Amino acid sequence: MPYITVNTAKKIEPDAEQKLVDAIGVSLSSIPGKDVQWTMVAVNNAVNMYFGGKKQDDMVFLDVKYVGKQEYHRKKEFTRSALAAVHEILGTPMDRICLTISEFNNWGALGDFRDLYYGD
């Protein structure tokens, strides 16, 4: 169950926000087992963001979390696709878009706890 937080320095309109969420979901599908129907996305608009100590008018940060370890080339493909989508939809310069990926071996969902390495 991937969870993605998107922080944008500028305010984006609801239609652009939906396009962005949809595009990130499509990008995520390049990672095996990561289905958009199980993906949660939080979008934070008009966040005060600073780079080099200076307030930015147009900057985007994506924080991606999911269960499992993926191959380098899959993560690279996803990253390139997601960053390109942000650039295309919001017009944010590529040097003002960042993304991190955190991979976990356990999670809680559907009323239970699961771990990739342990079972009941």
Residue 113: pLDDT band by 50, 70, 90 thresholds?
Answer: very high
Please state which of the ranges 16-20, 36-40, 58-62, 80-84 shows the lowest mean pLDDT: 36-40
So what's the pLDDT on residue 71?
95
| Residue type at position 34 | K
9-46 residue pLDDT tens: 999 999 999 999 999 999 998 898 898 888 999 999 99
pLDDT at 77 over 90: yes
The architecture of the domain spanning 3-115 is 2-Layer Sandwich (3.30)
Distances (CA, A) of 42 to 47, 72, 82, 89, 112: 13, 25, 15, 17, 23
* Distance (Å, whole) CA 88 – CA 68: 29
Element (H, E) at 78: helix 72-90
pTM recorded for the entire structure:
0.92
Mean pLDDT of 73-96: 97
Instruction: Say how far apart CA 114 and CA 111 lie, in whole Å.
Output: 10
pLDDT of 52: 95
